[in-house]
Amino acid sequence: MSKIISITSIASISPLGSNAQSVWEMYLQDKHCFTQQSYDQAPTFVASLKDEEVSLVEALRKEDSKYKFLDKSVLYAMIAARNAVAKAGWDKSEVFGINLGSSRGATELFEKHHLDYIQSGKAQTLASPTTTLGNIASWVAHDLQSSGPEISHSITCSTALHAVLNGYVWLQSGMIDKFLVGGSEAPLTDFTIAQMRALKIYSQTEADVQLWPNRALDFEKKKNTMVLGEGAAVCCLEAGKAPNALAYIEGIGYATELLEHNISISAEAICFQKSMKMALQNTELTDVDVIVMHAPGTIKGDLTEYKAIQKLFGTNLPLLTTNKWKIGHTFGASGILSMELAILMMQHNTFIGVPFAEAQQSNKPIRKVLVNAVGFGGNAVSVLLSL
């Protein structure tokens, strides 16, 4: 019999802010967090941290001389992890695991070091240790002085939910009682955005998209409208029914599609059908109140996930939403940022919809929310949360 897994805290740093109250207040507003900045010598929509959160990051960088040369993705994760552990009431003497990942890792720092090498023909001393993917979990473990297992990984845009999946399995195994899981991403760089433009999925700066640059869940859009954002999100998982639980993981599922090309996903997102079905195997479909979709704002990405949901739920669809219209796609951090939205909606019993999408209504209280994420190659994870 599966153990109950409690989520005893969740913390983030993103364009929405860095505390639950500010995040919720931002979600209640029908406006996005995008600004136009210059990337790759062109005006580009991005969702970056606000000045207050930038100050937190720079203050952390000055706390310890060893932190001075760390990538922003690591610092974001450290801030979110500190807040999550404090909220959960974990003590440094406790043994807990850490699984934190990133889609792209130390993006800004890697690009800087590589440019230095191209220009000078020499690599800087800290180029390697500060740009490995293991960098994130190891520095968070150092900062928290933890003594449990520490794991870093990259499974593209489903990285954070794969961390949840991994932590869930560790807790079910009984090898450990607490696990810190999450994802972090700082992808707002020239080369990263140039890559997204090369794939022809990035939002353009034409007048018809300036009101809502990322038109996630607009199934009538004629152009891809993905926009990148940055941030980190972390949650504390505990085995058993914790008295301070914010929510419980009621089901979890995963699936991978056979690749047809490097970024393929099938027309009806078979991977999502399988992951959702696995997560819901012990749940009546009518009990699912909301689905927080991956929905990155691309034509195919949004539509295939929607078709997968239709295939599974038929005509009796739950309420559907996403946060990428507001904060963009944060790659490896996006899954737990979606979980944050799910938990906030359950806590406040308030549905946060997409302002330009078809209006949805339900008289049911929000008690169960399914969260989806998928990465390049169809690496899908679905997590069912309940109060």
Phi, psi of 265 (to 5 degrees): -150, 140
Is the pLDDT confidence value at 261 over 60? Answer: no
- Does position 209 have pLDDT exceeding 80, yes or no? no
φ and ψ of 319, to 5 deg: -65, 140
- 208: pLDDT confidence band, cut at 50, 70 and 90? low
Q: Are residues 223 and 275 in the same domain?
A: no
Quick one: pLDDT band at residue 376, thresholds 50, 70, 90?
confident
| Region 98-125 average pLDDT | 94
Domain at 115, CATH number: 3.40.47.10
CB 298 within 8 A of CB 292: no
Q: What backbone phi and psi angles, to 5 degrees, belong to 85?
A: -65, -40
The string of pLDDT tens digits covering residues 148-198 is 999 999 999 999 999 999 999 999 999 999 999 999 999 999 999 999 999
Please give the pLDDT value at position 135.
87
Domain C-terminal end among 191, 217, 239? 239
Residue 298 has pLDDT above 50, yes or no: yes
Lowest mean pLDDT among 73-87, 205-219, 313-327, 365-379: 205-219
At residue 343, the pLDDT reads 98
Least confident of 9-18, 36-45, 74-83, 334-343: 36-45
**Is pLDDT above 60 for 27?**
yes
* Mean pLDDT value across the chain: 93
Q: Which residues contact 382 (CB under 8 A, 6 or more apart)?
A: 161, 251, 252, 253, 254, 272, 275, 276, 278, 279, 280, 370, 371, 372
User: Which whole number is the average pLDDT over 4-32?
Assistant: 97
Q: Is the pLDDT of residue 122 over 70?
A: yes
pLDDT at 54 > cutoff 90: yes
**55 lies in the same domain as 77:** yes
Are 267 and 193 part of one and the same domain? no
pLDDT over 60 (residue 207): no
* Same domain flag for 217 and 166: yes
What band does 74 get if pLDDT is binned at 50, 70 and 90? very high
pLDDT of residue 312 exceeding 60: yes
pLDDT at 23 over 90: yes
pLDDT beyond 80 at 266: no
Q: Is the pLDDT score of 262 beyond 50?
A: no
Look at residues 239, 256, 291 and tell me which one is the last residue of a structural domain: 239
**Same domain (yes/no): 130, 209:** yes
The residue from 219, 239, 259 where one domain ends is: 239
Q: What is the pLDDT of residue 2?
A: 81
CA-CA-CA-CA torsion sign (29, 33, 34, 37): positive
Quickly state the pLDDT bin for 93 (edges 50, 70, 90): confident
Q: For residue 84, is pLDDT > 80?
A: yes
Pair 17, 162 in one domain? yes
Task: Give the pLDDT score at 265.
Answer: 64
Does position 365 have pLDDT exceeding 80, yes or no? yes
In this prediction the pTM is 0.96
Question: Both 371 and 267 in a single domain?
Answer: yes
Domain identity same for 213 and 268: no
CA separation for the pair 348, 373 (Å, rounded): 23
209 and 269 in a single domain? The answer is no
Give the C-alpha separation, 152 to 133, whole Å. Answer: 6
Full residue range of the structural domain in which residue 339 is found: 248-386
Q: Report whether 254 contacts 35 (CB < 8 A).
A: no
Mind giving me the DSSP string for 147-177? -S-EEEE-BTBTHHHHHHHHHHHHHHHTS-S
Structural domain total, the chain: 2
Q: What is the mean pLDDT of residues 311-322?
A: 96
235 and 252 belong to one structural domain: no
Same domain as 233, residue 261: no
- Report residue 383: phi and psi, to 5°: -125, 125
- The pLDDT assigned to 367 comes to 97
The helix-helix angle for 135-144 and 72-88 (nearest 10°) equals 40
Instruction: Answer whether residue 133 shows pLDDT above 50.
Output: yes
**Confidence at residue 106, expressed as pLDDT on a 0 to 100 scale:** 93
How much is the average pLDDT of 65-91? Answer: 97
Q: Tell whether 222 and 304 lie within a shared domain.
A: no
